[in-house]
Amino acid sequence: MIKCPYCRKDFNDVKNSRSTFDSSQIWRRRLCRKCGKTFTTYEKVRPDFLFVIKKSGKKERYSRENVYSGIYRAALSWKDKERIVNKIVDVVESRILDLGKKEVKTSEISDIVLKTLKFRNIKTFVRFLVYNKQPKGEEDFIKLFRKY
Ligand SMILES: [Zn+2]
């Protein structure tokens, strides 16, 4: 729980929240219920509590590693690839948290990855799309391409 910087009590309500510019953190405006003061926090997103429901229906704990390796595989050999992929995973994780769920489907995660990649790296987007959605032909590919 977050403590109020003025009175050190941990009773507070979130008045407002949004992602930071690069979406790697969540900005929250909090109101202390004890002393009535407002303060701001920046929280690094960590969806470790999440469960992922696989296509088979099997449930498993969310793994950053899985998301990372999926994007890493699709990404071309950039200089500084690890750092760039990590940054993309940060954005993806904050968007997963924005769903406000305790369980997410793998398809929801790959949809978020695709939406994130489309505006950041179109080549990686295309490769990820082909690996994950396996379009059956050109028409199918175009339909999927437009979806994200
Ligand atoms: Zn307070």
Q: Are residues 55 and 78 in the same domain?
A: yes
pLDDT digits (tens, 9 = 90+) for 57-96: 999 999 999 999 999 999 987 788 899 999 899 889 888 9
Q: Are residues 31 and 102 in the same domain?
A: no
Q: Are residues 83 and 23 in the same domain?
A: no
pLDDT greater than 90 at residue 109? yes
Q: Are residues 78 and 116 in the same domain?
A: yes
> Ligand 1 centroid vs 8 CA: distance in angstroms?
6
Q: Are residues 119 and 70 in the same domain?
A: yes
CA dist list (Å): 79 to 70, 71, 128, 135: 18, 15, 19, 29
| Exposure of 76 in the CB half-sphere (CA atoms within 13 A) | 9
> Ligand 1 centroid vs 4 CA: distance in angstroms?
5
| 68: in domain | yes
pLDDT greater than 90 at residue 18? no
Q: Are residues 123 and 57 in the same domain?
A: yes
pTM of the entire predicted model: 0.70
pLDDT digits (tens, 9 = 90+) for 35-56: 999 999 887 767 878 999 999 9
DSSP-assigned beta bridge partners for residue 12:
32
> Ligand 1 centroid vs 19 CA: distance in angstroms?
24
* Token pair belonging to 59: 């449930």
Q: Are residues 38 and 18 in the same domain?
A: yes
- Domain range for 22: 12-44
